[in-house]
Amino acid sequence: MEKIVYALWRDTATDRDAFNARLKDEIAPRLAAQAYAVRINIQDADVANGTSPRMASTNPQMDAVVQLWIDSARDIVRQPVDAIVAEAAPRFAAWLVCESTAIANTRHPPQPGVRTEGFAQVVFLGRPPRLTWEAWREIWQRDHTVTGIETQANFEYVQNLVIRPLTYGAPDYAAMVEECFPSAALTNEAVYFDAPNDPAKLAANQQQMMESCARFIDFDRIDCIPTSQFEIKRLSR
Buried b (16+ CB within 10 A) or exposed e, 16-54: eeebbebbbeebbebbbeebebbbbbbbbebbeebebee
Buried b (16+ CB within 10 A) or exposed e, 187-216: ebebbbbbbbeeeeebeebbeebeebbeeb
Asked if residue 47 lies in contact with residue 227, where contact means CB atoms within 8 angstroms, the answer is yes
From first to last of its 237 residues, what are the pLDDT tens digits of the chain? 999 999 999 999 999 999 999 999 999 999 999 999 999 999 999 999 888 888 999 999 999 999 999 999 999 999 999 999 999 999 999 999 999 999 999 999 999 989 999 999 999 999 999 999 999 999 999 999 999 999 999 999 999 999 999 999 999 999 999 999 999 999 999 999 999 999 999 999 999 999 999 999 998 889 999 999 999 998 876
Output the pTM of the full model: 0.95
Measure the CA–CA gap between 205 and 146, rounded to whole angstroms: 12
Question: How far lies 147's CA from each of 23, 153, 196, in Å?
Answer: 34, 12, 18
- Name the residue type at position 102: A
How many domains in the chain?
A: 1
Angle at 215 between CA 140 and CA 194, to 5 degrees: 70
Write down the pLDDT at residue 52: 83
Instruction: Provide the domain limits for residue 84.
Output: 2-233
End-to-end CA distance of the chain: 12
Asked if residue 85 lies in contact with residue 68, where contact means CB atoms within 8 angstroms, the answer is no
Write down the pLDDT at residue 237: 64
- CATH of residue 123's domain is 3.30.70.100
Write down the pLDDT at residue 26: 96
- Name the residue type at position 158: V
Please give the helix or strand (H or E) that residue 66 lies within, else none.
strand 64-70
